[in-house]
Amino acid sequence: MRRTPRALLLVLAVLAVLVAGCTTPPPPPGPPPGLRVMTWNVQTGAHDPDEWAPVVADHRPDVLALQEVCTRDAEELADLLRRDHALAYAVVRGPIRPPSPAEALAPINAALGPACDTGPNDVLYGVAVLSRLPVGPPRITTFPPDPRDEQRGALSVEVATPTGPVAVHNSHIGLDGVQTAQIRRLAEVAVGPGPAVVLGDLNVGPDDPELAALRQGFTNVDPDGPATSSRGRIDHVFVRGLVPVGAEVPDVTASDHRPLVVDLRPG
């Protein structure tokens, strides 16, 4: 058997060392994967899912919190996103309905029935969450009834992110002096040790005292950002255990509110 000359072995060894030295080292690990959330009062009745779908598709949130939405419209929106934009969202329905017998007599429910193609006693209307991440079962908290208004409340779910579970609490707070009590109840619902997001149409500005209960345990993302409605910055994202890395309030014509889109990373 022919032996490999010693000189050739030496050359091969030197080449191996040179190649190893020229190999690009692996890049350092990047930042942990983020979470994009979006809250939007979509004004069901005046606007429809085919108007909302392109806006949602443009921003591709992992979790979408909707207010003023009929259950059927939330489901239709998810269908459009899947069919036309190849985005698969699970729908978690949080209708703060049906109303109590006394509340069903309130004028607001006579208006909500036609908006949702139902009668006033079976309106499926309120809030919903669409999620591209695995999502757990809903927990619905109702606020004390207000005969001047539709039944308000909060929809709470847990989403499974690549870095662990995050609690999401979506709410549409009422008007005419009920904000303090309802936001306090919302803050109680959101108490916990883990990462959490509280978001929705809270119907108060970022500097208003009604938000005091949420400020105690959460950080308001981009409170000085653009207005989300003609009444100012009344749509909010509060976070605990997460770090905001970006926020946007895009211009839209598909609602009387502008959506608030926020990028988060683990804290």
Residue 44 in domain: yes
Residue 88 in domain: yes
Query: Confidence class of residue 30 from pLDDT cuts 50, 70 and 90?
Result: very low
Residue 5 in domain: no
Q: Which residue has the higher pLDDT, 152 or 82?
A: 82
Query: Which H or E run includes 191?
Result: none
Mean pLDDT of 56-63: 98
Residue 132 in domain: yes
Mean pLDDT of 30-46: 85
Residue 43 in domain: yes
pLDDT tens digits, 84-136: 999 999 999 886 655 666 666 667 667 777 778 877 667 688 999 999 999 99
Residue 6 in domain: no
Query: Confidence class of residue 41 from pLDDT cuts 50, 70 and 90?
Result: very high
On the question of pLDDT at 29 being above 50, the answer is no
User: Contact, 190 vs 225, CB < 8 A?
Assistant: no
Average pLDDT, the chain: 87
Residue 13 in domain: no
Side chain identity at residue 93, one-letter code: R
Neighbour order of strands in the sheet with 260-266: 90-95, 125-131, 63-70, 35-41, 260-266, 242-248
Pick from 107, 4, 63: which is nearest to 237 by CA? 63
Write out the residue range of the structural domain in which residue 103 sits.
Answer: 35-266
Report the domain count for the chain: 1
Strands 164-172 and 125-131: unpaired
Q: CATH code at 236? A: 3.60.10.10
On the question of pLDDT at 165 being above 70, the answer is yes
Residue 124 in domain: yes
User: How many Å separate Cα 203 from the centre of its chain?
Assistant: 17
Helices and strands counted in the chain (H then E): 7, 12
